[in-house]
Amino acid sequence: MDAKYPSPDDNSFEQSEHGLFGSESGSDSQSSEKVPLTRQAGSIRSPSLPTPNPAQDAVKLAFGAGGIYASFLYYGSLQEDVFNHVAEDGSSFKQAWFLQVLEAAANVIVGAMGLYFSGATKNIPQKFFVISGASQVSSKAFTSLSLAHGLSFPVATLAKSGKMAPVMAGQLLLGGASYGIRDYMQVAAIVLGTAILSLGKKKGGESHSTLVGLFFILLSLTMDGVTGGLQKRLKADMNKVGIKPKPYDFMFWTNLYMMIVAIFISFVLGEFTQGIAYCVSNADLWSLIIKFSICSAIGQSFIFYTVAHFDPLVCSTVTTTRKIFSVLLSIFTKGHQMSLQGWFGVSLAVSGILSEVHNKVSHSQKLKSKVSM
């Protein structure tokens, strides 16, 4: 399956988490520059890379993967807490577009710092950044709105893992991609498992989902499909003009336009002033939102670190499996009562996610074996 060019949220990487091209999103790996290989003494090695040091690599991987897991596991937990928050008067926080303003702003700040130290790429075409930024922030906002309107976090997270379906559709229509039978089967397992969980009942008889929540998560997945197609075209256009943006170029420009779009929509809907008023009246929520936004930006930086030191597949594996742990963490720490049907749905969706990871690893190993022949 063609890799999606890199959200925190995860995605990118899952843009439902990350605000980046290609996330944890969400597939969720970022393409890195290919280093020319040379054959020497019967082996393949890169002339521009130092001799691998297993001990150092292990430390770097533990640091990068640990940072991604810690940032985005906490990120997901905080997101659930934000939309589960109930004020003394019984009201709850529903200003999803206002939340996106703050999250995107945190990523813009970190992206700007990254550009300051790494240097910015000149003459980057802005057209697709604007369009993709709008589609990505819409996807994130719709995910938050699904939580605000009663969709459980496990259902929303597993549904976002099934974003391969709209992304595949978007890339088939807009990017000219092609996929195999296994890709479609993986998507089917994730979608079917999520459907079984969402239609199932908790032990007490209450559903994990609401119709409005499901409507918003479907809108989010639709925007993921649009984003996937746009990102593939953007990558092709960049290659045509010979421009290779750096990771922090993507982080800064994408989130800048995400923030602008979120500001505009939040003002039009009245959410900006409502969000500020709600947070002023509920100081404890401010703390959750600030930590949520910081985790998003820090998580992106750990993703960049991991991609810079390892094959993008490593980062993709980390970010994809992270979603599984986010679901389990939510189930065991947020009081979700799961029925047997619910656990079956989770298991089916997780099997699809793990199959996706295995498929990527197998494909990567086959490519490496062909190169070494």
Residue-by-residue pLDDT tens, the chain, 373 positions: 333 334 434 443 344 344 444 444 333 433 334 444 444 444 444 445 456 677 788 888 899 999 999 999 999 999 999 999 999 899 999 999 999 999 999 999 999 999 999 888 888 888 878 988 999 999 999 999 999 998 989 889 888 877 667 667 766 776 566 777 887 888 788 878 887 877 665 555 455 568 899 899 999 988 887 887 777 777 777 777 777 778 888 889 999 999 999 999 999 999 999 999 999 999 999 999 999 999 999 998 898 888 778 766 677 778 878 888 898 899 888 878 778 888 888 888 888 878 877 777 676 666 666 655 5
345 close to 63: Cβ distance less than 8 angstroms: no
pTM: 0.76
- Minimal CA–CA distance to 1: which of 231, 176, 169, 177? 177
Place of tokens 């993507």: 250
In our burial notation (b when 16+ CB lie closer than 10 A, e otherwise), range 20-39 reads: bbbbbbbbbbbeeeeeeeee
- Minimal CA–CA distance to 7: which of 74, 75, 77? 75
97 close to 265: Cβ distance less than 8 angstroms: yes
- Bridge-partner residues for 10, per DSSP? 16
**Running DSSP on this structure, what letter comes out for residue 43?**
E
In our burial notation (b when 16+ CB lie closer than 10 A, e otherwise), range 345-372 reads: bbebbbebbebbbebbeeebeeeeeeee
**Running DSSP on this structure, what letter comes out for residue 55?**
H
User: What is the amino acid identity at position 192?
Assistant: L
Burial class from Cβ neighbours inside 10 Å (0-12, 13-18, 19+) for residue 212 reads middle
- Minimal CA–CA distance to 254: which of 125, 86, 98, 132? 132
- Mention every residue, 6+ apart, whose C-beta is less than 8 A from residue 341: 196, 197, 200, 201
